[in-house]
């Protein structure tokens, strides 16, 4: 029975300490970033990157765990943005009080997720992807056509009278808070029974159902969590750039960029989503500022990067990197023989009652 105790991570303590230290370092850097780099152009990168880190993490909570690739997260993002804009306008909310609307946006996201999920999650995986695209277009069209969404000129956010030099900083910390929150939620989901059910669904949904997993409920819950977070950060984004239009709130490239980030970093892994966003978003932002790289070229680059990632690192950086490190560690050691049950002495005394109760 002692072997049973030896469950869990088999990393040597050094590795765990290194991981913990690395995490601490990242947190410190993240918190101090705007204090050190006070140039608004730089902190702007920070804010937008953190927004995308949140989105990628939220996307991963659903798609990474269930394997259902959603290309409709923009639905939540835009809905959250518009919800805040409409509420601020119609309820005459201004200044910092607007931030109190964030939970409202989140609620809108959750409310949208339910019918969206109920329809989209009943179908096969491929069809699911396409439904998310279809719903995305419906929402974009609604944004263009409904009377209360401001049509093609969109909505403007209430004026925020903060000085230009420090305007970005509070947004940065809010976004950072969301990053922290979503990462924690992602981690909790992963470790819980709920997360286990999600991943079982990813591997073999029918079998999971056969074992009593309530697939629809579980998927819908993950979908709603993902949607709520995305809607809230969409509202933050809206207030940050002060406006939303149908094609920016519901941007066709939004989801593909998210997917690219997550795949680059490692599909299904929390740190992978974060890493992917940390790489891609600043890169995209920077490319857009280079005159040589006008709009169309950034599209080409996005597509090209994606193809390269898919072809050469299909599992993403974190898993591939992890394997690489494992390989390095294993060099020079004899291959571990996985001892089959045949060699665990067939004549061993039968374990009484087999533990079945």
Partner 1 sequence: MAREITEAIVDGILIGGVYALMAVGLTLIFGVLDIINIAQGVLVILGAYLSYSLFTKAHIDPFVGLLITVPAMFVIGVVIHWAFISRLRGTERTSMTLLVTYAVGLIIEGVLFKIYGANNVQINPRYVNSSVHILDFYVGWVYIWGFILALVLVAAVYVLLYRTRFGRSVRAVIQDETAARLVGINVNKVAALTFGIGVAVTAAGGEVFGLTNAFNANSGYDLISRLLSIIILGGMGSVGGALGASVFMLTLESVVTIWQPNWAVVVYYAALVIVLLYRPTGLFGRKAVRAQ
Partner 2 sequence: MTALLRTEGIMKAYGGVQALNGAAIAVEEGTVAGLIGPNGSGKTTLFNVITGYERPDAGHVWFGNWQITGLAPDKVFAAGIGRTFQLTRIFPRLTVIENMLIAAQSKDRPKNLLAWPGRDAWTHHRRHAMDLLAFLGIERHADVLAGSLSYGQRKLLELAYVLVADPAVILLDEPAGGVNPTLINLIGDRIRQLNTDKGKTFLLVEHNMEFVMGLCSTITVLESGATVVSGPPDIVRTDKRVLDAYLGADLDEETAGNEEGR
Check residue 123 for interaction with partner 1 (CB under 8 A): yes
Smallest distance, partner 1 to C-beta of residue 336, A: 25
Residue among 221 and 280 whose Cβ is closer to partner 2: 221
DSSP summary character for residue 68: -
Smallest distance, partner 2 to C-beta of residue 232, A: 18
Smallest distance, partner 1 to C-beta of residue 252, A: 5
Residue among 296 and 344 whose Cβ is closer to partner 2: 344
Smallest distance, partner 2 to C-beta of residue 201, A: 9
Residue 60 has φ and ψ, to the nearest 5°, of -65, -35
Smallest distance, partner 2 to C-beta of residue 56, A: 20
Q: What is the CA radius of gyration of the chain?
A: 23
Smallest distance, partner 2 to C-beta of residue 55, A: 21
Residues that bind partner 2 (CB under 8 A): 1, 3-4, 7-8, 10, 188-189, 192-194, 196-197, 199-200, 202-204, 206-213, 217-218, 221, 338-342, 344, 346, 350-351, 353-357
Check residue 214 for interaction with partner 1 (CB under 8 A): no
Say if residues 272 and 318 touch (Cβ distance below 8 Å): yes
Considering CB distances under 5 to 8 angstroms, the limit depending on partner class, which of partner 2, partner 1, none binds residue 126? partner 1
Check residue 75 for interaction with partner 1 (CB under 8 A): no
What is the spatial distance between Cα 104 and Cα 38, in angstroms, rounded to a whole number? 31
What is the spatial distance between Cα 354 and Cα 338, in angstroms, rounded to a whole number? 23
What is the spatial distance between Cα 56 and Cα 41, in angstroms, rounded to a whole number? 23
Say if residues 179 and 53 touch (Cβ distance below 8 Å): yes
Q: Alpha-carbon dihedral of residues 279, 324, 23, 199, nearest 10 degrees? A: 90
Report which of 271, 273, 275, 254 is spatially closest to residue 262, judged by C-alpha positions: 273
Smallest distance, partner 2 to C-beta of residue 190, A: 11
Q: Which range touches partner 1 (CB under 8 A), out of 218-226, 252-260, 275-283, 330-338?
A: 252-260
| Out of 17, 18, 304, 325, the residue judged to bind partner 1 by CB under 8 A | 304
Residue among 2 and 161 whose Cβ is closer to partner 2: 2
Instruction: Write out the H or E segment, with its range, that includes residue 333.
Output: none
- Write the Ramachandran bin of 14: left for phi over 0, alpha for psi from -120 to 50, otherwise beta: alpha
What is the spatial distance between Cα 130 and Cα 142, in angstroms, rounded to a whole number? 18
Strand spans (E) along the chain: 155-156, 243-244
Site string for partner 1, 139-158 (x = CB under 8 A): --xx-xx-------------
Considering CB distances under 5 to 8 angstroms, the limit depending on partner class, which of partner 2, partner 1, none binds residue 69? partner 1
Report which of 110, 94, 243, 101 is spatially closest to residue 160, judged by C-alpha positions: 94
Q: Which residues bind partner 1 (CB under 8 A)?
A: 67, 69, 119, 122-127, 129-131, 133-135, 137-138, 141-142, 144-145, 204-206, 252, 256, 259, 263, 295-300, 302-304, 306-307, 310-311, 314
């Amino acid at each position: 029975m002692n072997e049973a105790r030896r469950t869990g991570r088999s990393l040597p303590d050094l590795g765990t300490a290194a991981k913990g230290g690395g995490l601490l370092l990242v947190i410190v850097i993240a918190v101090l970033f705007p204090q050190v780099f006070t140039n608004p152009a730089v902190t702007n990168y920070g804010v937008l990157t953190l927004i995308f880190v949140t989105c990628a993490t939220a996307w991963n909570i659903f798609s990474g765990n269930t394997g259902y690739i959603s290309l409709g997260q923009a639905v939540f993002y835009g809905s959250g943005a518009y919800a805040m804009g409409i509420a601020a306008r119609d309820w005459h909310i201004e200044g910092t009080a607007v931030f109190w609307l964030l939970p409202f946006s989140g609620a809108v996201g959750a409310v949208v997720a339910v019918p969206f999920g109920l329809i989209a999650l009943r179908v096969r995986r491929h069809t699911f992807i396409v439904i998310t695209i279809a719903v995305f277009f419906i929402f974009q069209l609604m944004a263009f056509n409904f009377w209360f969404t401001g049509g093609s000129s969109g909505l403007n956010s209430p004026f925020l009278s903060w000085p230009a030099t420090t305007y970005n900083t509070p947004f940065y910390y809010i976004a950072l808070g969301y990053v922290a929150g979503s990462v924690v939620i992602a981690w909790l989901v992963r470790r819980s029974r709920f997360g286990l059910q999600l991943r079982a669904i990813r591997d073999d949904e029918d079998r999971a159902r056969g074992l009593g997993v309530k697939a629809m409920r579980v998927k819908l819950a993950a979908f709603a969590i993902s949607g709520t977070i995305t809607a809230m950060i969409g509202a933050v984004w809206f207030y940050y750039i002060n406006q939303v239009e149908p094609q920016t709130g519901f941007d066709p490239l939004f989801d593909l960029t998210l997917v690219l980030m997550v795949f680059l970093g490692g599909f299904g892994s929390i740190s992978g989503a974060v890493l992917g966003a940390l790489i891609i978003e600043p890169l995209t932002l920077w490319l857009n500022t280079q005159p040589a790289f006008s709009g169309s070229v950034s599209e080409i680059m996005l597509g090209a990067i994606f193809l390269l990632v898919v072809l050469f690192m299909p599992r993403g950086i974190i898993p591939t990197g992890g394997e690489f490190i494992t390989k390095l560690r294993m060099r020079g050691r004899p291959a571990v023989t996985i001892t089959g049950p045949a060699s665990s002495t067939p004549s061993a005394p039968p374990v009484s009652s087999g533990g079945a109760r």
